[in-house]
Amino acid sequence: MNIEINPDRLWDSLMTLAEIGATPKGGVRRLALTELDRQARDLIIRWCTEAGCNVLLRAMMERAGVAHR
């Protein structure tokens, strides 16, 4: 399977995402579980859906793994 990346489209997408939570000095600040974080996640979900991808959402705590010994 060959996947081709359009570098201009990728850059434009990253710059659009960077507008959410942009700081005056050119950085980005989006703390987890804030409104800005939600906006960024919603945008990524929209892009994935538009690209025909299935999006699976899980509970926040499911992202952490704990090994019991």
Q: At what angle do helices 35-50 and 7-18 cross, to 10 degrees?
A: 150
Q: Which residue has the higher pLDDT, 55 or 13?
A: 13
The pLDDT confidence band at residue 60, using thresholds 50, 70 and 90, is: low
pTM: predicted TM-score of the whole model, two decimal places: 0.76
Q: Which residue has the higher pLDDT, 41 or 17?
A: 17
The pLDDT confidence band at residue 69, using thresholds 50, 70 and 90, is: very low
pLDDT at 27 over 50: yes
pLDDT at 42 over 80: yes
- Hey, which residues does 22 pair with through a beta bridge? 28
